[in-house]
Amino acid sequence: MNITTQAVQIGLEWDTRTGAVTVPIYQTATFRHPGLGQSTGYDYSRSGNPTRQALEDGIARLDGAARGFAYSSGMAAITNILMLFKSGDHLIVTEDLYGGTCRLFDKIFNQYGLSFSYVDTSDNAAVTAALLPSTRAVFVETLTNPLLKFADLRTISAFCSDNNLLLIADNTFLTPYLLQPLDMGVDIAVYSATKYLAGHNDTVAGLVTVKDPELAEKVYFHQNSVGAVLGPQDSWLTIRGIKTLGIRMDRQQENAGKIAQWLVDHPRISKVYYPGLADHPDHARMKQDSRGFGAMIAFEVDKHELVEQILLKTNLISFAESLGGVESLITFPEVQTHADIPQELRNRLGINNVLLRLSVGIEDCDDLIEDLRQALEK
């Protein structure tokens, strides 16, 4: 079944008693036992809740996973996965990483004896050089933030199998609609469902999918033990969002492609990062491996003064953090999303004081372009 159809189907057959077309919000903390030693399959909502389960089963189907798991945020999801490791373990991590993930690794998990090597994971020699006897996993983002490099999952997963490492991929920017990481050798996919999956800038949520059933059991043990689960209301909102993932993504990508080209042609824009542009270094590989290029654009303006002007003058496009929702948002990574990345690394990556990041929404494309045009004028 096509993934668009699968997404619409989430929760549809859940309530056989009433035939409700959407899964009900089971707003309950606990469940009555039918008898001693008996269970309906639900005992307590941290361990399992039907609304959350509908979402977890749904994301598992979309990713072709053994199981899916829902958490109270993307960071909670990543935290739960990092807890699979123990003190002394080492991870190889892509250097072009979401700032919050970098902060979690360096300021929290560092304190618990995990260590991390940040490398350019598109450079095979650099990945191999970072390998230590204590290395247990490689953590990448399928499409990175904010500079939109596309991970070479086939090469990295071959390296991981050769060295008995887990491959964990943050697939937030692409979602299963554009790329199913588990089909490309990834063991665990993580999502900030806050972004494209929920898609309406109205919910904070995290999702995980796991390929191997045994590993999934372990992840479930951690989810239940740590307890950062997604509540029933937010699970329902996330399901509601996922149902329209396909059409939202199509529209957002179409808009992003046009806007990226418009930016390329604008005299005040000095650089445009969008993998759908033919001169993007990963364009050809992404065209082959992904069903689309996503709807995130990063661009440099010719003078720093223009950054503040654009952030103040855009009307339709909101100056706000986050991304992936139906509303277009613009942000200044250097001082916002990526402030926790060390300065030296930011410079090397190209996250500088003229770089802006645009999350393209579903608005009319001409209206978005007009908004950018007037914001760029003196």
Ligand X SMILES: *Cc1c(COP(=O)(O)O)cnc(C)c1O
What residues line the site for ligand X (CB under 6 A)?
73-75, 98, 100-101, 141, 145, 170, 172, 192, 194-195, 204, 206
Residue partners of 217: CB distance under 8 A and separation at least 6:
none
Cα–Cα distance, 295 to 29 (Å, whole number): 38
Residue closer to ligand X, measured from CB, 78 or 376: 78
By the 8 A CB rule, do 105 and 168 touch?
Answer: no
CB of 78 to ligand X, least distance (A): 6
CB of 100 to ligand X, least distance (A): 5
Please name which of 32, 67, 62 lies closest in space to residue 224, comparing C-alpha atoms: 67
Active site residue 258: no
Q: Which is nearer to ligand X, 141 or 152 (CB)?
A: 141
CA dist 376 and 260 (Å) reads: 15
Which of 67, 195, 211, 346 is catalytic? The answer is 195
Q: Which amino acid is at 212?
A: D
Query: 98 is written with which tokens?
Result: 């979401």
d(CA 266, CA 124): 36
* Minimum distance of ligand X from residue 294's CB (angstroms): 11
Q: In what order do the strands lie in the sheet with 269-273?
A: 269-273, 296-301, 355-359, 329-331, 318-319
From 15, 42, 46, 268, the catalytic residue: 46
Task: Confirm whether 107 is a catalytic residue.
Answer: no
In the complex, the smallest distance separating the C-beta of residue 193 from ligand X, rounded to whole angstroms, is 7
Q: Is 303 among the catalytic positions?
A: no
The residue annotated as part of the active site, out of 152, 170, 187, 234, is: 170
Integer-rounded Cα Rg, in Å, for the chain is 21
Query: Based on CB atoms, which residue is closest to ligand X, 195 or 371?
Result: 195
Taking the least distance from each CB to ligand X, the nearer of 31 and 94 is: 94
In the complex with ligand X, which residue's Cβ is closer, 14 or 223?
Answer: 223
User: In angstroms, what is the minimal distance from the CB of 44 to ligand X?
Assistant: 24
Sign of the dihedral through C-alpha 206, 186, 220, 62: positive
Write down the catalytic residue from 71, 98, 196, 273: 98
Residue 213: other Cβ atoms inside 10 A? 10
Within 10 Å of residue 273's Cβ, how many Cβ atoms? 22
Residue 46 annotated as catalytic: yes
* Residue number of the CB atom closest to ligand X: 74
Active-site amino acid positions:
46, 98, 170, 195
